[in-house]
Structure formats: structure tokens, C-alpha cells
Structure 1
Amino acid sequence: MDRKTAKLYIGKKVLVNEGNQGQYIATLEDMVVEPNKPWRGIVRIQGVYEYPNYSIDTMELVHPCFKENERYECSGQRIEPYSHSFPYNYKESLALSLKDKWDEVHQVNQDTEIILSLIQQELRRLHSEHLIFEASYVYYQLVKKGRSIYIYDESKRETLSIDGCPFEFEIHVNGEWVQALYISGMSFETEDGEQVDLKHGSTVRLNKAQFDPYRMLINELEKPSLHALEKGLKKLNIGHEHSVYCHNSLLIKLLTSFNKDNFNGVNFISYANNQNQFVVQHHYERSVSETEESTTFDRFEFTSDSGERILTTYATQFSRD
């Protein structure tokens, strides 16, 4: 903005453009004018017009560089006229600018998905579609030591017991990878019920998606418990695809409580769509017994940011009165 125009905007709203650090609505309170030097403006920040750019390098959200009512002296070149109404306070404008940034990134993601789809189609035409998914797997070699069977990760030089492994493997059969569950020894069972016996040194693989805490929680739940969760999600018009974060304490306890038969706790799951945020508290109890029937209790408490609350529960007849 030139000096002449700036004088007309003293006491009025202007736009302060900080480039990658965002744009801000402010009041031009005064001008600093010195001979043979560019003029500078004294502004007081009123709101956020455009949220700062996010950092791809650090994958962090950059916060606004100005706070509400902060007084700031900046170059006149960064100040632009603003003649529109701005009926928002600082907090409201911050939220709206974040929503605009969400829409911007969401559109980029949609455009990226289209390009990825086109690339995948071309790889399929070249009979090389499998190259896309190679990074999604962890490969192991079957190793037999005495009477025990292990899986060996050559890249990490780690050896793990396969006995009791909860994951679904993929094994190489007739030149193709097929899903299979480990039975015992060197034997696996495919989805078709076929038993396949592998050898020492055979390669098996795991899809990394199985390590996702939310997916592991879904796989652990009994069908009635999963139905209770999905019933609540349906009432809120969301689904598993809207999951954002899952703190799976149940998994942690299952993996670290080998000597315990009873445990309880709470999982925290968050969901989001274009309109709302949702939080689910999953209260659980587990009792494992070799002589009596095991018991299960799951209660899902749903809360939306609009204040809506839903409660769904599943319990075996022995777990709760």
C-alpha cells in the first residue's frame, strides 16, 4: 500500500500479509514516516484471515505468529487495503481459517487420489501393479529351532515366535500371495480351508495395515461388541472410515499381561467428518479362564462436539449382573 492510500486507512481495518506465516486482519493505528525510507505501519491484530501454511518437512501445524490485540510494526509493503466487513472475533476467525485450510488440503488429497488412480491403472496395464504394494508388507523367513517355529525379519535382524501370533499372514502358493492363518509347525490354512505345509526358510509376509491400532481393536472385538460400536456410529452418521486416532490400551494389556486372567481399562477413539468431531470412550473388561466360560464387557460412550451423546453396551451373561 502506498503512503497516500495508507493515510486514508488510519483507524480502519487492513490486511497484513505475512506470506507463509499467514494473513491477518488488523487496525492500522499509525504510520512511521522517515525521510528517504519506506513507510512502516503500526497495526493491532484483530483476527486471522488466512491460516499459515503447514510444514511438509516436519509434518507439523504452524501456529499463527500473532495473538489477539497484539501491536505490531511492519513494512508498509505488507499492508493491503481491506474494505469488506469482518464480523468475527479472533477465536472465530482462527477457527474459520483452519476450516479453509482443511478444505484446501482435502481438495489436494482428492486431486492426488485421482492421479494415483491413473498411475495404478497404467501399472496394471504394464502388469506391474504389485510394485505399489510392496512397501505395505513386512517379509519374514520361517525358522525352525528344535521343536519351536519362529519368523525372522532379516532387515531388522529380529526373531519372533510365531506361536499364538494374532495376525493374518500371506504365503506364496502357485506363484501368488494368498491369505492364510498359522496353525502349527510349518502348517498354514488358507481362506479356502486348504492346508499348506511350508519349509524352513520359506518366506511369509504381513500386511502393515494389520498393525494399525484401530484395525487391531476392531479385529479383537467379538461380533456383538463390534455391532454395538457400529450401532452407535450409525446413529451419528459416521463409520470406520472416519476414524482419526485410536489409543488401544486393550491391545497393550493383551500383549503385556500374559500372566493375568482379568483386566479392564478404557480405549479412546476419535472420529471426524466435514461437519463434526466425535470421541468414543470404550470401557472394557476381560476375564479369561481355562475351566470356566470367559467373560466380556464392552461399553461405548459416544460424544459429538455438538453435544449429542449415545451409549451402547455388550456383555456376556456372566460379566455383569
Structure 2
Amino acid sequence: MNRKEAQAYLNQLVLIDKGDHGRYYGTLEDLIAEERKPWRGKVRITGVERYPKISSELSQLPKPVFAENDLVEEPGVNIFPCNDNSLSYNHSLADALKERWDQLQETYTNSEHLLTQIQQYMKQLKSEKLLTEDTYIYYQVFEKNGEMFMYDEEKGDKLAIEGCPFEFEIKTNGRWEPAHYDDHGHFITFDEKLIKLKPSDDVRLNKKQFDPYYILKNELEEPALDALESGMQRLGINHEHCMYCHNSLLIQLLSSIEEQEFSGVNFISYANENQQFIVQHHYERTIQDEEDDITFDRFEFTSDSGERLITTYATQVSNE
């Protein structure tokens, strides 16, 4: 806008457009209008309208160029009128990050490191729930050659129901209820009701069941999970602080159906407001048909300050 228009926006909300470095809300506090020179404005930053550009070539997440309450001097060519913004700086920042998150998920397939950094930043802003708004995957039930399947119309994915390890939700009396699959199109709800679904009926799965960390927690026997949580509690972290989980046990289980013995290491990272932690989860599994499985779990915690801690659970003495 020109300097005459800018006069009308004194002490009003404007936008600063920094191109690939983002767009920012602010209050136009003053004009610098020297003769025969382009006008400039002094703007007090109040929010983030668009987060800086993120690409998969970057190794680090770019940060906003302006922080809350910064007083910046910008050429008039970068300043624009804008609609009212009632969000706080952190709230607007979280919304802008969420928009970039959606773009990365849709556009890039090799951007996990950047998505992880966004997730960590969102946790610091206490806004990570924005990333899990689309919690469920919806399927329609159909039958083919006597076998039951689920079909995702949006993505075209087909999934056999028989032997599926996930917990489903089915709609009964207008509301969703947790249930597990029995057979021949029948599902059993938690209160033991047997419900038969018809072709084209809907079922849904909570996406968290595909999360490697969620799967790992469910795979651990209760004493092993207690050992993990005991170490976490002593270091001041909890499951909500998990940033990344490499679940090699899941990979082995899925790729080696005939194998009865597994061993390896999972890597889990956590971060709270003050520290970051890495956990090496050493495991051994022996699957037995007639007896209880033999398991061994050792959790080695290391903080970025050098603190170390080990917790262990075993059904019998490990080979280590």
C-alpha cells in the first residue's frame, strides 16, 4: 500500500510479507516518510500468518525471522493491510506450523526429519494436538469369495479383516464403539454384544495403532513396561515426551513369520522442556507354542547432560 493508505493503518494490524521467510502480523506503530524516498513502517510483531518455507533439502527446521513483540522497521512494499487476528503469537505460530506440516505430509515422502522437528516444536508450544486432528481412517466393509475386507475409498486401500490385529470401532445406534473382529462379518463390542455388519457398513481404525511407539508399548509385557516407565519417571519424562521410535522388533515380526527367536535394539528419543534423552531398548524374544514366551528387555537411558540409567526385565536369565 502507498503511504497515504498506510496513514489510515497507524496503530492497526498489518501484514509483513518476507517471502520465503514467512508472513507476520503486527501493529503499525509509526511511519517514516522522507521526501523522495520510499516510505517505511515500524511494526510491533504480534503473530505469524505463514511459517517460513520448508523443503526436504533442509537439514534444520527454519525459525521465524521475527519473535513476539519485536519492533521492526520494514519498507512499505513489504507491508499490507490484513483482517483482524485475535490469536496469540504462539497460537498463530502453531497454526502456521500445522499448515506446513500438512504440506510436507502431502508433498514429500522423505521429510521425516523435518516432520519430527515440527512435532518437537509443536510440543514445546503445547499445541501438538493440532497434528492429530485427523485421528481415524474410515473403511467400508465388503465381502469377496467368502472373505471379509475393508476398503478405503479415499486412498483405494484394501485390508483383509480376518486375522487383523487392530482394534476397530463400529457404529451402533448412531455412535462409535470399540470392537474386535470375530468371524463371518461379526464384531464383538467391549460389552460382549455380537454385531453383524453388512456390505457398505462403515468401520474405522484409530491411526495411533499404526504408530511404532504405540505398538511397542502394547507388545511389552506389563513388568517390562513398568521397567521402562520406572526409568522415565526417574528422569522426569513420560510417554507424551516421545519424539521418535525405531521399532526394529516390529520389523522382524512382520518380515519373519516363521521365526521363533528375535533379538535386536529399538531406539527411542524423548524431549521435555529442558533435556533430550535417547533410550536403547535391547530385547530378546523366544516364541513358544506350549509354554509362555521367553522375553528379555533392557532399557539404557542417556540424557544430553550425560546422565545414564539402566532398567531391566527378564522372564529368565538372558544369554547376554
| TM-score bracket for this pair, using the shorter chain length | 0.5 to 0.7
Q: CA deviation at 1:282?
A: 0.5
Flag the 1:171–1:319 CA change in 2: closer, same or farther, 3 A: farther
Give 2:125's match in structure 1, choosing from 104, 109, 115.
109
Flag the 1:145–1:283 CA change in 2: closer, same or farther, 3 A: same
Flag the 1:222–1:164 CA change in 2: closer, same or farther, 3 A: farther
Give 1:55's match in structure 2, choosing from 39, 52, 57.
52
Flag the 1:306–1:54 CA change in 2: closer, same or farther, 3 A: farther
Counting only pairs closer than 5 Å after superposition, residues 137-216 of structure 1 correspond to structure 2 as: 137-216=136-215
CA shift digits 1:246-305 (9 cap, x unpaired): 111111112211121111111000001111110000111111122333211111111111
Q: CA deviation at 1:62?
A: 5.4
CA distance in 2, matches of 1:289, 1:170: 31
Q: CA deviation at 1:20?
A: 8.6
The answer to whether the Cα contact below 8 Å between 2:268 and 2:280 also exists between their aligned partners in 1 is yes
CA distance in 2, matches of 1:276, 1:203: 44
The answer to whether the Cα contact below 8 Å between 2:284 and 2:295 also exists between their aligned partners in 1 is yes
Whichever residue aligns with residue 175 of structure 2, its letter is E
Q: CA deviation at 1:237?
A: 1.0
Secondary structure at 2:250 match in 1:
helix
Larger CA deviation: 279-288 vs 189-198: 189-198
Flag the 1:215–1:62 CA change in 2: closer, same or farther, 3 A: closer
Flag the 1:54–1:159 CA change in 2: closer, same or farther, 3 A: closer
Whichever residue aligns with residue 154 of structure 2, its letter is S
CA shift digits 1:67-118 (9 cap, x unpaired): xxxxxxxxxxxxxxxxxxxxxxxxxxxxxxxxxxx9xx669935x689x8xx
CA shift digits 1:121-155 (9 cap, x unpaired): xxxxxxxxxxx95x321111222233422222222
Counting only pairs closer than 5 Å after superposition, residues 89-108 of structure 1 correspond to structure 2 as: none
Residue correspondences, number: 218
Counting only pairs closer than 5 Å after superposition, residues 291-302 of structure 1 correspond to structure 2 as: 291-302=290-301
Whichever residue aligns with residue 310 of structure 1, its letter is L
Counting only pairs closer than 5 Å after superposition, residues 1-321 of structure 1 correspond to structure 2 as: 55-58=52-55, 60=58, 61=60, 109-110=125-126, 135-317=134-316
The answer to whether the Cα contact below 8 Å between 1:264 and 1:286 also exists between their aligned partners in 2 is yes
Flag the 1:231–1:142 CA change in 2: closer, same or farther, 3 A: same
Q: CA deviation at 1:174?
A: 0.5
CA distance in 1, matches of 2:258, 2:162: 16
The answer to whether the Cα contact below 8 Å between 2:212 and 2:245 also exists between their aligned partners in 1 is yes
Whichever residue aligns with residue 263 of structure 2, its letter is N
Whichever residue aligns with residue 194 of structure 1, its letter is K
Flag the 1:308–1:62 CA change in 2: closer, same or farther, 3 A: closer
Flag the 1:316–1:108 CA change in 2: closer, same or farther, 3 A: closer
Q: CA deviation at 1:320?
A: 5.6
CA distance in 1, matches of 2:146, 2:318: 38
CA distance in 2, matches of 1:267, 1:108: 25
Q: CA deviation at 1:185?
A: 2.5
Structure-1-length-normalised TM-score: 0.59
Flag the 1:283–1:175 CA change in 2: closer, same or farther, 3 A: same
Flag the 1:197–1:106 CA change in 2: closer, same or farther, 3 A: closer
CA distance in 2, matches of 1:62, 1:222: 37
Secondary structure at 2:299 match in 1:
strand
Secondary structure at 2:125 match in 1:
helix
Structure-2-length-normalised TM-score: 0.59
Secondary structure at 2:182 match in 1:
strand
Q: CA deviation at 1:238?
A: 0.7
The answer to whether the Cα contact below 8 Å between 2:247 and 2:266 also exists between their aligned partners in 1 is yes
| Unpaired segments ≥5 residues, structure 1 | 1-18, 22-52, 65-101, 117-131
Q: CA deviation at 1:227?
A: 0.7
Q: Which of the two has higher C-alpha Rg? A: 1
The answer to whether the Cα contact below 8 Å between 1:55 and 1:62 also exists between their aligned partners in 2 is no
Extract structure 1 runs of 4+ deviating beyond 6 A: none
CA shift digits 1:43-87 (9 cap, x unpaired): xxxxxxxxxx973443753579xxxxxxxxxxxxxxxxxxxxxxx
